[in-house]
Amino acid sequence: MKNYENLKAGRLFKTDDYLVEKLTACWEKLVKLNTETNREERNKICQELFASFGKSTVLSPFRCDYGDNIYIGNNSFINFNVSMVDLGKIQIGNRVLIGPGTGLFTAIHPIDPEVRATGVEKGADIILEDDVWIGGNVTILPGVTIGKGSIIGAGSVVSKDIPQMSIAVGNPAKVVRKINEDDKKYWQAEYDIYLHGMGE
């Protein structure tokens, strides 16, 4: 249990028999999730798998290590082939979109090779605030917070925090501009056209 306590606290830990049991239990749930097609049953599995799970959607295949370090809000959408290495906490807010092939990696291995060879590691939390959109094949590294409303371009590698209402792209991801009133006006006009076309 001590290694598990260290894992949850963000301290160095080593995978012991207890953690292997937890990994195995998670893998068994993932097998069920990744083969189940009934939406209600998938939601039940997600509620068992994750620390918390709102009214959201997770497509298969999906991968994680433990599941009980992942918190998912409401109306979020996680596309296929997403991987979450949840040694640290992964907090996903409301109305978050995560594109296919994206990886959220909280694991930190020691830089010193001798210490790394002992098998110890630790995690650093990843936070995606409300209304974040992550493009396809994005890599999000340990300790990163992506601020409310921000967009990460496809294929980016995010190694540092991204402020709210920003568009960031590249490797490493850098903010290229803020989301502004012109964006709001354009997309509100597009949405009005959509509503008119739907007879609403």
- Domain, as residue range, for 106: 1-196
> How many domains would you assign to the chain?
1
For the chain, the three-class secondary structure string (H helix, E strand, C coil) is CHHHHHHHHCCCECCCHHHHHHHHHHHHHHHHHHHCCCHHHHHHHHHHHCCEECCCEECCCEEECCCCCEEECCCCEECCCEEEECCCCEEECCCCEECCCCEEECEECCCCHHHHCCCCEEECCEEECCCCEECCCCEECCCCEECCCCEECCCCEECCCECCCEEEECCCCEEEEECCHHHHHHHHHHHHHHHHHCCC
CATH of the domain at 40: 2.160.10.10
- State residue 60's pLDDT score: 98
- State residue 143's pLDDT score: 98
- State residue 1's pLDDT score: 81
Active-site amino acid positions: 109
- State residue 181's pLDDT score: 97
Please list the pLDDT of the chain residue by residue as tens digits (200 residues): 899 999 999 999 999 999 999 999 999 999 999 999 999 999 999 999 999 999 999 999 999 999 999 999 999 999 999 999 999 999 999 999 999 999 999 999 999 999 999 999 999 999 999 999 999 999 999 999 999 999 999 999 999 999 999 999 999 999 999 999 999 999 999 999 999 999 87
- State residue 133's pLDDT score: 99
- State residue 80's pLDDT score: 98
